Every structure is written in structure tokens, then in C-alpha cells.
Amino acid sequence: MVDSYRPKDLKDALSIRAEYNPQPLAGGTDLMVRYQSWSGTLPLFTKSVMFVGHLKEMKYIKKEAKDKTVTLVIGGTATLTDVANHPDTPVVLKEAVLSIAAPALRNNATLTGNICNASPAGDSICALYALDAVIVIEKSGSRREVPITEFITGPGRTILGPDELVTAIKIPLKASSVNDFTKVGTRRANALSKLSFTGVADYKNGRIDSIALTFGAVGPTVVRSVELEKKLIGLSGPELKAMIPKVIDDYSTVIVPIDDQRSTAVYRKKVALNLLEKYLKELSSHE
């Protein structure tokens, strides 16, 4: 049996976190499964727990404009349903979130939880990598902002300190005309990912102005290669089209999946590259 805490507000939560380092529990949809024990017995948590899902201060989604950039700020306890329903949620994130589980689960699970769980198969993460999401981390008296690519360090691992909480996720809202999120799951709905793919890109004056390509569940963390993306910036549609085989080749060296109970490495790799190819073809026909 472990202790549990129910802070009355965020401030309280941060001080409890600093004092006792309990594990935050938001929707519980990862933790209750991870520590599941014999039905009818208590979950086998290994350290104390702090409930955070009820903290109202973090249950918001809002737009912030600063200089010329508009940012969507998703509070630390916003649920997946909140994110899916918000009109300003970028389409790839919306699709990613809606691909997670089923309504009852999304009503309870938080976006923060999906990120902090840091599963390579976390569906929102695949989209958030492509959207350059930034994680807002707080502890009593201080606050830092870290790009998601730095926040997640490995399967199930993040840089979160034992006294810190994630209080928000920031997503810069950028123009993006060709968007794709595709999840290949173990069945058509309510399924865990075999792999996922996100592509977002925009043209300016007939040339690719921005592009992000990410792959979920094909490596220890979401795969994104800014280096390979850079090679595509500035290309016109026809130029891109001519380069597709080369791009696929390049990506085939960075995608190194594994076999598990849900799929095989060969399949994951092949389909990831197929999805990339499909997206790039689609992209090359736009301008």
C-alpha cells in the first residue's frame, strides 16, 4: 500500500510534489493498467501517488498570440476529448487524438499523460513531434519550456524531475496545407498502434516552405529527422516528385522497428515507408 495525495490546487500540488515526489496520476489510463494486479486487489503502485486530474487551473485550452506567432496552449489536465473537440486543434493532432482508444477512455485520459507516458506507440506524440510542440514544466518557484523532442528521452523516459509537473503543452499554429496522420492499428478502432505516421507541410511561392515527417512505434521514440526534412525545403512539387525514391531510401536507414506481439519489424518498416511515399506523392501534387 502506498500513500496518495489529493492537492487542492496547482500550488499545493507543486509543493507536495517537491516534498514527497509522488507519481502524478491524471486520467490513470496508463498507470492503472501498468500497476494492475489481481482483480479486486489494489493496484501495485511502487511509490506514492498524487491525483492531478481534478486540478481545474490546468483544465483549459486557449490561443495565445505573441509577436507574429499564434500558439495553442493546452493545459496540463485537458483530456483527449477536450483536445479533439477544440476548434483550433491542428488537424493532425485532432486525428491522432481521435485514433486513441474510444470515447470513454478519451473522456478521462489527458494529453499530458499520453506525453509523459512516453510510449513509442503514443499516438498524440507522433503528431506533437511534427507540430514542434513545447512542454511547459513547472516546479515550486520555477518554470521551463522544453521541445517535446528533448522532453522524451526514450521509451517511458522523460527529463521530468521528481519535483516537477507538466502544466501545459504549447503548439505553434503554423500554416500547413498538406496534412496527414495515419495510424495503423491492431484493428479498425479502439486499437493500439502497430505504427503511425504524421506529415505536415506548407508551400510558399511554389516551393516547400516547411515540412515535418514523423513516425511512431517504429523506434524507441518517435522518429523525426530534421536533417532529412531540410533537404526537402525549397523544392517545388515536381522536384520533390523526382526525389521521392531517394527520400524513401534515406528514411529507410532511420526507421529501425522491432518485432513484438502486435506486429513485425518488416511490416512496420515497409508500411512506414509506404505511408511516407503516399504522403510525398500527395504533397508533390500540391503547390
Partner 1 sequence: MVGAIHELPIKGWIDTKGVKMGARISIPVRRIDAKEKAGGWTKYIGDYQFKNLQHGRFLRSERARAKIIEIKKPDFPEGYYYIDASDIPSSGKNNIQMIKDDWRVFAVSDVKYIGETIAVILGPDKQKVLDLLNRIEVIYEDLVPAFTFDDALSCKGGAVYGDNNIFSEYLLNVGNVDNAFKDAVKIVEGKYETGFQEHLYMETQGLVGAWEDEKITIYASSQCPFYIRKSVAVTLGVPVEDIRVRQTTTGGAFGGKEHFPDVIATPLAVAVNKVKKPVAMIYDRIEDISFTSKRHPSKITIKTGLDKSNNIIAMDIDTLVNGGAYESSTTIVLQRAILHGIGVYNIPNARIRGRAVATNTFPSDAYRGFGAPQGLFAIEMHMSHVADELGLDSSDFRRKHFIKTNDITITNAKMHDDVKLPEMFEKIDEMSDYSSKVKEFANDPVKGIGIAFVNHGGGFTGNGEQAIIKGVVKMKRLEGGKAGLYVSVVEMGQGLQTTMRKIAAKELGLDYEDIVYDNPDTDIVPDSGPTCASRSIMVVGFLVQECAKKLKAKWNEGVGVEAEDVYKHPDGLVWEQETLQGDAYPSYGWGINVIEVEFDPVTYEVKTTGIWAVWDIGVAIDETIMQGQSSGGVIQALGYASIEKCELKNGTFMQHTMADYTIPTSLDFPKVETCFIDNPYKYGPSGAKGAGELVFDAAPPAYAEAVQNAIGKRIYDIPVTPEMIMEALK
Partner 2 sequence: MKEIKFILNGKEVSVKADPLKRLLDVLREDEKMTGVKEGCGEGECGACAVLKDGVLVNSCMIPLGAAEGSEIVTPEGIRETDKGKCIIDAFGDAGAVQCGFCTPGMMMATEALLTINNKPDESEIREALSGNLCRCTGYDLIVKGVQIASERGKDLW
Residues that bind partner 1 (CB under 8 A): 36-42, 102, 182, 184, 186-192, 261-264, 266-267, 270-271, 274-275, 278
Asked if residue 18 binds ligand FAD (CB under 6 A), the reply is no
Asked if residue 101 binds partner 2 (CB under 8 A), the reply is yes
Residue in 117, 179, 182, 263 binding ligand FAD, rule: CB under 6 A = 117
Which H helix or E strand runs over 73? strand 69-75
Q: What's 224-268 look like in SS3?
A: ECHHHHHCCCCCCHHHHHHHHHHHHHHHHHHCCCCCCCCCCHHHH
Cα 280 to the chain's mean position, in Å?
22
Question: Positive or negative CA dihedral for 156, 158, 162, 163?
Answer: negative
Site for ligand FAD in 175-204 (CB under 6 A): 192
Asked whether the beta carbons of 49 and 23 are under 8 A apart, the reply is yes
Work out what residue 278 binds among partner 2, ligand FAD, partner 1, none; the CB cut-off runs from 5 to 8 Å by kind.
Answer: partner 1
Residue 9, CA distances (Å) to 2, 12, 22, 51, 212 in order = 22, 5, 15, 11, 37
Work out what residue 267 binds among partner 1, partner 2, ligand FAD, none; the CB cut-off runs from 5 to 8 Å by kind.
Answer: partner 1
Work out what residue 81 binds among ligand FAD, partner 2, partner 1, none; the CB cut-off runs from 5 to 8 Å by kind.
Answer: partner 2
Half-sphere exposure of 150 (CA within 13 A, CB side): 8
CA nearest to 123, candidates 101, 91, 104:
101
Min dist CB 199 to partner 2, Å, is 25
Asked if residue 81 binds partner 2 (CB under 8 A), the reply is yes
Binding site for partner 2 (CB under 8 A): 1-2, 4, 6, 25, 27-29, 32-33, 36, 39-40, 42-43, 45, 49, 51, 53-54, 81, 101-105, 107-108, 189-190
Binding site for ligand FAD (CB under 6 A): 23-31, 33, 52, 76, 80, 100-101, 105, 109-110, 112-114, 116-117, 122-123, 160, 165-166, 192
